[in-house]
Chain A
Amino acid sequence: MQPILRLEGICKQFGGVTAAKDITFSMTPGQVHGLIGPNGAGKSTLMNIISGIYEPDWGSIYLNEQEITKIPAYTRARMGIGRTFQTPRFLQRSNIRDNLLIGTDLADQTGFLKGFFGKKGRPFDDELAELMEVAKFTFDWNDNVNSLPFGKRKLLEIVRSMLGHPKVMLVDEPAAGLNNKEIEHAMDLLNLAAQKRGIGVLLIEHSMDMIMDICSDIVVINFGQVIGMGGPKEISQNKAVIDAYLGGDDLA
């Protein structure tokens, strides 16, 4: 199958620190890809490079085999690269409705002028209901988004991203700070995104249970370099990976 997103030889340095060194991998639509590695390995940097917040020093990024390396972040988002953040980022002073509309605005692309003269985007009640069914919580439209507990906000951020109809979704540590129930719901959401919507999901996560459970493919990086790639089985037996995680003494 043609990859939905492909990275080729991505390099990025911050001063003397190499955050990414010759990173090459590709993602297939409809699958959850894990991106794991110790703290500071360069996972979030890579996500920022894919979504266009950082520009790579070297290498190319392809979305649907179209090169997007030089395209600005907001255009990439419109082309279908959605993402969530380690700590959820919402409109702090707005209610939940406006925060979800940010997601649907992205999918609709009506433009400011049409929006001003009252053109509403497509109705998304049904779609939202379907997603909230999976996320397993309800809310009042008019509440401020900060009235939701942290875990629910993280789930809501995945929902918002899905309302933007992305082709690729970058999900940064969705399980951090969630209780076991919420982690399950987060996994259900990601499975729904991949299997029903055919979104290629790239998942950064420290919870190995979650990674092993839903990822069909795992990329392991350390010190900005890919040190292992493959299915969950292979990865859990890969020596370099075990060394990196358990602190092996002869890591070249």
Chain B
Amino acid sequence: MKFKNLIGAGLICAIILIVPQFLHGYPMTVVNVALLFAITSYGISVMLGMGGQLSFAAVTFMGLGAYFVANTTTGRLGITIPTMLALVLTPIVFAGVAFLVGLVLLKLKGTYFTFATIALVQVAFTFFNNYSPLFGGPDGISGIPTLTFFDHSFRSSGSSNEWFYFISISVVLVAIVVERIRRSQLGRALASIRDNETAALTFGINTYLTKVIAFSIAGAFASFSGALWVMHGRFVGADMFNFLNAAQFIIMAMLGGVNSTVGIVIGALLVTGLPELFRAFQGYMQLFWGVAIIALMVFMPTGLAGIKDMIVEKIRKYKVCASRREGDADATDS
């Protein structure tokens, strides 16, 4: 197990070092954006994958994180704080906000909760799009400073290597947190809520509070990813945080495998990258995602990671059968 972890760590380091050698310019920007979306997607993995709670609210918290950074680093509201401080503060502040929102929304259960999160997305979008003092209205907020990391300003072009290193290390850190949650008491509590909420109560699990905590973690991830996104792109507009994009994040998480730590990153890369490859069909993208989500639900509810597991299982079974047949052959020989 230890050895396997070491190989995994080595592989991740190698990928992080090698990718910038081959990718430059616009493709690099797309990869950077995909990776920071993966952080939001990890929040969905905690809520939906572990806890079985479908929430569309991820984009809203991304938006809150993005506007928070946009306001505090440009001095629009009269105060200016360093970009690094804003980046660290965002997940802390919005974990708290998500906790409070979660306390209210999670009074509802199952589908009712999901609908409430859709309503939240719509309400928040309306505010983002119309309330100029805080959100810049339809024009959005531009001229956001790029990240300054201990006296070193990141190059403002989003395709730079330093952005790639910083974002991918953030993704790895978030992935480690998610893996830890999965293996700790919180992960087990969430799994028992997903599988049977009544039984979870008899295991001594405060199902309501546990779900609120998961919602708060997802909110922290999403707002952090929103903060990175806005420093990376240096502009924030409301369009990013509408319902269509909310659905796209769900697809992102489900395509790779909502319970697979590696799958989340692959899903984010595919969902962000494919529209760039098929620019000519951009008008049909919503149709494609609609069909994709139905197909995902029906044919691979566990995503690409599920298909991998299925193949591994098939190979294992094949090996068992093969060894048994060989065993029989040996027996007849002797």
Contacts and interface: CB of A to CB of B under 8 A. Distances in A.
Query: Is the A/B pair a real complex?
Result: yes
Interface of A: 51-53, 72-75, 77-78, 81-83, 85, 89-94, 98, 101-103, 105-106, 109-112, 115-116, 164
B203 A115 contact: no
A53 B202 CA distance: 8
Given A105-B185, A112-B186, A116-B184, A77 B202 contact: yes
A152 B191 CA distance: 22
B201 interface: yes
A72 B200 CA distance: 12
Interface of B: 180-181, 184-186, 188-189, 191-192, 195-196, 198-207, 210, 213, 259
B204 A106 contact: yes
Majority secondary structure, B binding face: helix
Contacts of B189: 105, 112
A106 B204 CA distance: 6
Given A73-B201, A115-B186, A93 B181 contact: no
B207 to A, nearest CB: 7
Given A112-B185, A116-B186, A102 B201 contact: no
A52 B195 contact: no
Contacts of B195: 89-93
Contact of B205 (A51, A74, A81, A85): A74
A74 B207 contact: yes
B205 A53 contact: no
Nearest to B204: A77
B204 A164 contact: yes
Contacts of B203: 74, 77, 102-103, 105-106, 164
Contacts of B210: 112
Nearest to B180: A116
A101 B205 CA distance: 13
A73 B202 contact: yes
Contacts of B200: 74
Contacts of B180: 116
B182 to A, nearest CB: 9
Given A74-B202, A111-B185, 13 more contacts: A52-B201, A53-B202, A74-B206, A77-B201, A77-B202, A77-B203, A85-B199, A90-B195, A91-B188, A103-B203, A112-B213, A115-B186, A164-B204
A226 B196 CA distance: 31
